[in-house]
Amino acid sequence: MTLKKNHKYISAELFETTKLSELKKLSAKELLDLGQIEYPLYKSTEDETYSLISYERASELITRRIEQSNPENCFFYASGRSSNEASFALDLFARSLGCNHINTCSNYCHEASGIALSASIGATDKSISYDDLRYSDLIFVVGANPTSNHPRFAKILREFKRDGKRIVAINPSVEPELQKLTSHYCQPNIGGDLALFSGLSKYLIENEKIDISSNCKNISGFQEFINYLDGISWEIIENNSGLQFKEFQLIAELYLSSKRTVFAWGMGLTHHINGTDNIGSIINLAILRDMVSGKGKGLLPLRWHDNAPQLPFMGFNSSTKKRIFESFENTYDIQLPKGKGKDTLSCMQSAQAGDIEFAFLLGGNLFSVNPDRHFSESALDNIAFKVMVSSTLNETHLFGIGNENLILPFRDQNEKQADNGLKTEVEIIADIAAATIKKNGIAFEHFSQYKDIVKAINELLPNLDIEEKNPIPDHDGGSIQSSQYRFSIPTQTKWKKDNASNLFNLSSVRSEGQFNTMIYDESDVFRKQKSRNVLYISAVDIEKLGLSNGSIVNVQSETGSLKEIKLAEYDIKPGNVMTYMPEANILIPQNNDDRSKTPSFKSVSVTISNH
């Protein structure tokens, strides 16, 4: 097919002239380059392509399907690109239907961080704000590449470097722009983070260099933590982390020389089968030197949106969210489901089993963010009816669409209404909810404007104070909600390391020209690659395989294979390799962290063979 570029909207004739099988062959960038979706699109079970449909007819189809569906057999999903107000409306709509299977893309990102933070310090979010980082003298950047993915944080790091302060990066691969800012760049094995941070804690305790805060009302689990560390030898720690003892000494001494340390981490820590253990090990190290909270001290999970408030509930903390729901129930005399619903992966597994009748996807690209590409397509295929609110085409609109599917385009809330009548996300949700919810007094049409939602919250909670949206300041000018700390003991980590000669640990990564699964540029400027079809590997491992830089290979996992991918020599810890997501997802199994249910996107056993 011939691609038409540089048009704002996709031609209305595209689906009349192009088969879906042809569209499936396009790359993520090529789909994005087609332009924005201008009209609602519908595909029935029998159809071979999408056809134009009105918002009104789409609403009728959705209403009928919801009325025929059991709320327990539905799920709702919101992308992080969706507005807080739209996610709020979606959450309230789903619960008003009686469904509590409501997730966002953050479930696959920092769920492990929230669980570990809550268990150890009683907070579910960061314990330091970006503004307070200027008081720090040392920042650990772990499992993240902020110079590519977190521009605001990267700016702070550059100012840190300029002021002569110290930055320690911990990452299996050397990211060149990040390396320029660091005092020390540490390269552990992929999956070796728990061993690394446990080793640092062990070093501090064995050398009696700890300083547990006298300001904490209670610290529990310390003796159990010591017992755990005593049971792990330095040989095991070195073997699993991939570091020598002298590097533990070096990093520990940098930490000990700091008066105000911040630990910042990305999905390089959460995307593991022991992701929650990883975060807990960082918190343990922070507790040992009273670096959990206070001016210039803290714990900072790095999110792609540069740490804007967490979706899906407008940044409100859980207690305020509960009060809003209670006020809503009292106002309209209804009962909302409050129990914890299924997580994203569990919803997908239920779909594969044929147990999902209806799914509402607010933005995002759920097909491409799931592990195990074959499983993802099969699961989405089995959903009886899907609503996808999207502004551009992506793979979720093309794979796993065997049953009924609707694509509802939208315009930005700040964009004036065009002649084509595009609605905002909030207007779409409000229209569907108003047509669907048949309870006395509930008028979702009053939630059709962004300002209406803010007004409604103020009416539901007239005494709502802005401080409820933020952590409570602690004794030293920082921000943390609890002074009761608990040391965590790993529960999901296997210490036995497989040293098979042709077995590698693979991590999926993003490129410079990429935003989640949206690909703006096939090249990666920072890593000096013109194509995404590369497998990054060390020179040591290339030689061990008897191959050369640029060799074409096949990569195999228990789930699938990537064929005809080019080796790209890179500064990465030997025994480890990496390639781009979402292409790598065909290799990613459904293995996940028991507590967060986050798939292990960044630690997959693979073999490499010459093509």
pTM exceeds 0.75: yes
Residue type for position 555: V
Instruction: Say if CB 525 and CB 558 are below 8 A apart.
Output: no
Residue 482 lies in a domain: no
Residue 486 lies in a domain: no
pLDDT given for residue 218 in this prediction: 75
Of 250, 271, 302, the domain-final residue: 302
Among 90-99, 325-334, 335-344, 422-431, the least confident range: 325-334
Residue 355 lies in a domain: yes
Verify that 55 and 165 share a domain, yes or no. Answer: no
Give me the domain span that covers residue 75. Answer: 14-108+314-448
Q: How much of the chain exceeds pLDDT 90, in percent?
A: 63
Instruction: Say if CB 486 and CB 590 are below 8 A apart.
Output: no
- Check which CATH number belongs to the domain holding 542 and give it: 2.40.40.20
Segment 344-370 shows an average pLDDT of 95
Could you tell me the pLDDT band of residue 480, with boundaries at 50, 70 and 90?
Answer: very low
pLDDT given for residue 80 in this prediction: 72
Verify that 246 and 371 share a domain, yes or no. Answer: no
pLDDT given for residue 311 in this prediction: 44
Verify that 380 and 296 share a domain, yes or no. Answer: no
Verify that 86 and 145 share a domain, yes or no. Answer: no
DSSP state of 383: -
Among 52-66, 350-364, 406-420, the least confident range: 406-420
Verify that 284 and 327 share a domain, yes or no. Answer: no
Verify that 179 and 248 share a domain, yes or no. Answer: yes
CA distance 316 to 87: 12
Verify that 40 and 146 share a domain, yes or no. Answer: no
Pick from 9, 56, 7, 81: nearest CA to 366: 81
Strands, DSSP E only, in 205-278? 218-220, 261-265
Using one digit for the tens of pLDDT, what is the confidence trace for 558-601?
999 999 999 999 999 999 999 999 999 999 999 999 999 999 99
Verify that 326 and 368 share a domain, yes or no. Answer: yes
Of 429, 448, 467, the domain-final residue: 448
Among 114-128, 422-436, 502-516, the least confident range: 114-128
- Check which CATH number belongs to the domain holding 86 and give it: 3.40.50.740
On the question of pLDDT at 19 being above 70, the answer is yes
Q: How much of the chain exceeds pLDDT 70, in percent?
A: 89
- Check which CATH number belongs to the domain holding 234 and give it: 3.40.228.10
Residue 542 lies in a domain: yes
On the question of pLDDT at 211 being above 80, the answer is yes
CA distance 499 to 544: 14
Residue 489 lies in a domain: no
Verify that 54 and 164 share a domain, yes or no. Answer: no
Verify that 133 and 282 share a domain, yes or no. Answer: yes
Total domain count, the chain: 3
pLDDT given for residue 304 in this prediction: 53
pLDDT given for residue 461 in this prediction: 67
Verify that 163 and 266 share a domain, yes or no. Answer: yes
On the question of pLDDT at 465 being above 60, the answer is no
Verify that 276 and 331 share a domain, yes or no. Answer: no
SS (H, E, C) 408-458: ECCCCCCCCCCCCCCCCHHHHHHHHHHHHCCCCCCCHHHHCCHHHHHHHHH
Residue 250 lies in a domain: yes
Could you tell me the pLDDT band of residue 463, with boundaries at 50, 70 and 90?
Answer: low
Higher-scoring residue by pLDDT: 189, 105: 189
